[in-house]
Amino acid sequence: MVNEIIETDKYTMKIHDQECLLEYIVKEGVKLDVDELLEGKKALTKLRPGVRFFVLAEGIEFFTISKEARDLCATAEYSDNTIAIAFYTPNISLLLMGEMYNKINKPAVPTKIFSQRDTAEEWLREQMKKLK
């Protein structure tokens, strides 16, 4: 059950409190930069201070993210409210870019890229079980 939604012109965040799950949906054709990421984190931490989330992220259509934003996403400081991230996209270009991000930026939290939502959800649920 979705408890709260944060919506901007570039992304939607759906908060599921019961599972500490955050759905992060990137909208088509947008360019994400550091400012958008910091605004989103600020809005989320204002609504749920001290809560850490399992993130199910999706980018169905093509979007871009600046190098500075990718670098920020990989840091422990930015990810302090994140437990694990499962990103899924059927877009092969985004899939390859995601895999490159993992290899080059080496995110501070467990992060995996998937081509199907169900396998992303399955992996994220496995991460949830590890913490119980």
Task: Quickly state the pLDDT bin for 60 (edges 50, 70, 90).
Answer: confident
What is the mean predicted confidence (pLDDT) over 19-48?
A: 95
Task: Quickly state the pLDDT bin for 132 (edges 50, 70, 90).
Answer: low
Does 1 have pLDDT greater than 90?
no
| pLDDT score of 4 | 96
What is the mean predicted confidence (pLDDT) over 58-72?
A: 91
Task: Quickly state the pLDDT bin for 120 (edges 50, 70, 90).
Answer: very high
Does 88 have pLDDT greater than 70?
yes
Lowest mean pLDDT among 6-10, 47-51, 90-94: 90-94
What is the mean predicted confidence (pLDDT) over 49-69?
A: 93
Q: Could you tell me which of 103, 96, 11 has the C-alpha nearest to residue 55?
A: 11
CATH topology of domain 4-130: Transcription Regulator spoIIAA (3.30.750)
Entry field: residues in the chain: 132
Q: Indicate the average pLDDT of the chain.
A: 94
Count Cα neighbours of 87 within 13 Å in the Cβ-side half-sphere.
21
Q: Going by C-beta distance under 8 Å and a sequence separation of 6 or more, which residues neighbour residue 24?
A: 11, 12, 13, 55, 56, 57, 58
Break the chain into its structural domains and give their ranges: 4-130
